Structure 1
Amino acid sequence: MQEQNHSFMELRTELIRKLRDRGCTTITITGYRYLCNSIFTWLSDNGFDCYNEKAGALFLQYYQSVHGENQYYLALRTVVQRLNDLLKGTWSDVHSDKGKHFCLPDAFAEIVDRYCNWNESTGHAFGTVRNKRYAISWFLDELSKQDCKSLDVLSPVCIAHACLKVTNHSLWGEIRLFLTYLTEFEGVTSDYSTIVPHYSKPYVIPSVYSVEEIKRIEEAVDTSTVLGKRDYAMILLASRMGMRSGDIANLTIEDVLNRTDLDIIQTKTGNALHLPLISEVRLAIDDYLSVRPESQTDIVFINAYAPYNPITTSTIRAALRKYIGLAGIDSGNRKRGPHALRASLASSMVNNDISYETVRKVLGHSSNNAIKHYARIDIENLRKYSLTPPPPSDRFSDFLHGEVE
């Protein structure tokens, strides 16, 4: 079969159009565009005047030999897979960060589509449905390898073996929900969800900074410059209002100009968020808008240099890391992105006896389960209920004192 070749510009334009049609965010599309440029620049410098699958494979081979399989390599590999999809006139919904591809029997493929459509209809976000598709495709692929290629021949043994083959144990919960769905909507008479092992993901205490540390970070910003005014406003939106970096990057001038309240649709969840635009934040935004360079975009925060395109979330992360360093704060093992400021706000609120429900609403969570997350960082209130352990006695005491081998 003749290998398909496409010009760089033609293929990139088609990829961006495809991503827009699928509802991808501006940040995602910007990331794809940037990665495409990296790939096409290398190919052009190495004598390629168009793209094909062989060229994409050579680029990945070169990058891996120089830099290894780092996070940037994984992102580049995903883009190459998408470019190859366009060459073949297909679009696979399952491109994982491990490069897995699944060939399902027609009966299973139809069930996957029905299950994902049902999840979409019940309000799940695109990213959530994509993860569900990946989990159950892997599970059904392992089932089909055992010659279990339809729901009629499902058995506890096949299900147990398939689950053990799904080595990403965090996906077991998705498989359990899928098996419950099969019982309720696909005519499977037995509820096999109880067979799936339970897996509890190790909980990591969120990275938080004290009120004093956040004050030092804010004071480290030089607000006499355009760049400083922009960064100061972005940091306040994260530290004082707990906004996610994606929502900060997507704020429009209409959202904030002459407003005392903020009403947006959250990028991550698609849910509405209503917050009072507190005075300090509003003044910081107005201060930046008064010196903001002219741009064709209506996005509030733009790059500091021409052509003044909208910022990305990486701009916010880089700015915060910069000011943490300038403030002389030892972050240790703590994260240094805007989500740490969001977690710090939640921690500060619950430690000041603000109800978990209020915290949930301020941070824009729709699920009541999020309250449990905040309870875990309510260290001061948890400390009130700590128990004093009894003194060791008998054989245990002997063991602690080295008297038992």
Structure 2
Amino acid sequence: MSQYRSAWQRLGTFMNDRGDVNYSAMCGEAFIYHLIGSRKFENLDRWEQDIIYCTNVLTEFLETGMIKFRRGQKFYDLWGAVGQTMQAYIAEKKAFGLSSGTLTAYHKDLQHFLAYLDTHDIADVHAITATVVISYTATLGFCTPHIRHRRLSIVKGFLRYLYDRGLAAEDGSPLVPRDQYSKQPVLPSTYTRDEIAALIAAIDRSSPKGKRDYAMVLITARLGLRATDVCDLGFENLRWEDSVIILNQRKTGERIELPLLADVGAALIDYLKYGRPVSELPFIFLHVNPPYDRLNRTTLHSIVSLYLRRAGIVFEKERRHGPHALRHSLAGVLLAKKTPVPVIAAVLGHRSTESARFYLRIDLQALRQCALKVPAVPPAFYVGRSSR
């Protein structure tokens, strides 16, 4: 508590000096850069790194209303004059509504580019020449295709930003080579109806933890909610009088209304009456042991994996074994029942039917109807080949 208080007092002094009345994420970022100056994060003293952590926690609580158990993400510092320009570029991207995960990727990859410039004594954006860009791209040869593609794309966007804002005399983005990267589609991991039934049956509902786990797994398997939405589920989302669950999805922001099925409702009542610890938090699912805080999606992933193993269900390395696999499995069940794609999209909360078409590749019965007959091989083909 003393550490948080001390860090936020420094932050308050910084805000007073700037005349800031309300705290914001950009205010916190400005304070961090004011603290570290031109130094690198790894060269800071421990107390300075702790101040950065406390500031990030405050931003996290401001934007999400909660604090994760694990330490916040590493702060990817962007130092010097070039780093300040990169910060401005990222701030512009943030204004466009990019997600926090995407912005973290921008910080990380631009820091990688900045480190390369730093080792070559380039401290001004005007010194980023064609030779520098080509030499940097050559260093990415040992990266995975995905990482290389991402870094090239982000650096290319940054170089275009420099030219568009008049910070560079020439547009350096065409110098970034095309890497011909294409993300290969992966088949969704699914489980059969019997496997899902075995998974649910493996949960011992005699304990508070079992009651909670049973309700969470049942909601995921029956309704196909994403793990984050299950963990965020609050009392206000349950409309008992109408037998529906209404919520705004974390990933898409889209409002979704799902039926409160009888077995799901019974599981929720059993947990709320006999399993949930006493707490004023608005979240339904809480930790079994104090502090009774909300769960996160990694915990739900561990819960699903645990009961898959207890049920004796073998999952290969290629088949995922978390809550998202249960979501995919629900889509498979709906496809087997000849449910129209628009209905599946509505059930799973997709913005468009195009997203739901992703699951068509697991409908083997329908795919067999699309298979073309293999033409017969003429007998002349085998003439003279029997001795080979």
1:145-200 CA-partner distances (Å, limit 9, x unpaired): 56775367543x64344233232431314633653575474455475177221223
CA–CA distance in structure 2, aligned partners of residues 241 and 117 of structure 1: 37
**CA offset at residue 130 of structure 1?**
1.1
Match of 1:42 in 2: none
**Alignment of 1:324 onto 2:308:** yes
Which residue, 154, 163, 176 being the options, matches 2:137?
163
1:389 Cα deviation from its structure 2 partner: 4.5
Structure 1 residues 388 and 30: CA distance shift in structure 2, 3 A: same
Change beyond 3 A, Cα 1:335–1:198: same
**Separation in 2 of the partners of 1:232 and 1:210?**
18
Partner of 1:246: 228
Q: Tell me if structure 1 keeps the 8 A contact 2:212–2:285.
A: yes
- The counterpart of 2:292, out of the listed 308, 319, 325, is 308
Match of 1:52 in 2: none
TM-score in terms of structure 2 length: 0.69
The counterpart of 1:214, out of the listed 189, 196, 203, is 196
8 A Cα contact 2:237 2:245, kept in partner: yes
Q: 1:267-291, CA deviations, whole angstroms, 9 ceiling, x for partnerless residues? A: 4x36133122332323321221122
Q: Structure 2 CA distance, aligned partners of 1:193 and 1:263?
A: 49
Q: Select between 325-334 and 237-246 the one with higher mean Cα deviation.
A: 325-334
Contact 1:177–1:193 (8 Å) recurs in 2: no
Contact 1:261 1:274 in 2 (8 A): no
Match of 2:3 in 1: none
Q: Give the distance between the partners of 1:385 and 1:325, measured in 2 at CA.
A: 36
Residue 137 of structure 2 is aligned to residue 135 of structure 1: no
Residues 1:192 and 2:192 aligned together = no
- Aligned residues between the structures: 332
Match status 1:123 vs 2:97: yes
Question: How far has the Cα of 1:93 moved from its partner?
Answer: 2.7
2:362 is aligned to: 377
Residue 258 (structure 1) aligns with: 240
Query: Matched residues in 1 for 2:373 and 2:135: separation?
Result: 45
Q: CA deviation at 1:209?
A: 0.3
Q: Is the 8 A contact 1:220 1:326 kept in 2?
A: yes
1:344 pairs with 329, 339, 355, which one?
A: 329
User: 2:268 maps to which residue?
Assistant: 285
Kept in 2, the 8 Å contact 1:206–1:377? The answer is yes
Mapped to 2, the partners of 1:117 and 1:402 lie a distance apart of 71
Deviation at 1:376, TM superposition (A): 3.5
Normalising to structure 1: TM-score of the pair?
A: 0.67
Residue deviations 1:15-56 (CA, integer Å, cap 9, x gap): 3553232457578621229xxxxxxxxxxxxxxxxxxxxxxx
Instruction: Indicate conservation of the 8 Å contact 2:137/2:176, yes or no.
Output: no
Question: Cα RMSD over matched residues?
Answer: 4.0
Give the secondary structure class of the aligned counterpart of 1:384.
helix
The residue that corresponds to 1:51 in the other structure is none
Residues 295, 377 of structure 1: alpha-carbon distance in 2 compared, 3 angstrom cutoff: same
Task: State the match for 2:125 in structure 1.
Answer: 150
- Contact 1:136/1:175 (<8 A) preserved: no
Q: Gaps (5+ residues) in structure 2?
A: 1-43
1 CA distance for matches of 2:70 and 2:383? 61
Q: CA deviation at 1:127?
A: 0.9
What SS does the corresponding residue of 2:246 show, helix, strand or coil?
strand
Distance 1:181 1:349 in 2: 44
Name the aligned partner's letter for residue 258 of structure 1.
Answer: W
Is the 2:221–2:327 Cα contact (8 Å) retained in structure 1?
yes
Q: 1:240: how far off?
A: 1.4
2:53 is equivalent to residue 15 of structure 1: yes
Judged with a 3 Å threshold, the aligned counterparts in structure 2 of structure 1 residues 258 and 354 are, in CA distance, closer, same or farther, namely same
Work out whether residues 239 and 245 of structure 2, in 8 Å CA contact, stay in contact via their aligned partners in 1. no
* Whole-angstrom distance in 2 between the partners of 1:21 and 1:270: 21
The one-letter amino acid of 1:301's match is F
Percentage of matched positions with identical amino acids: 24
Q: Matched residue of 1:240: which SS? A: helix
Of residues 333-342 and 353-362 in structure 1, the stretch that sits farther from structure 2 once superposed is: 353-362
**Please, which of 142, 153, 166 is the counterpart of residue 176 of structure 1?**
153
Distance 2:182 2:312 in 1: 37
Cα distance change, pair 298–165 in 1 and its aligned pair in 2 (3 A)? same
Amino acid at match of 2:53: L
Q: Do the aligned partners of residues 146 and 214 (structure 1) sit closer, same or farther apart at CA in structure 2, a change above 3 Å counting?
A: same
Structure-2 change in CA distance of 1:349 and 1:133 (3 Å): farther
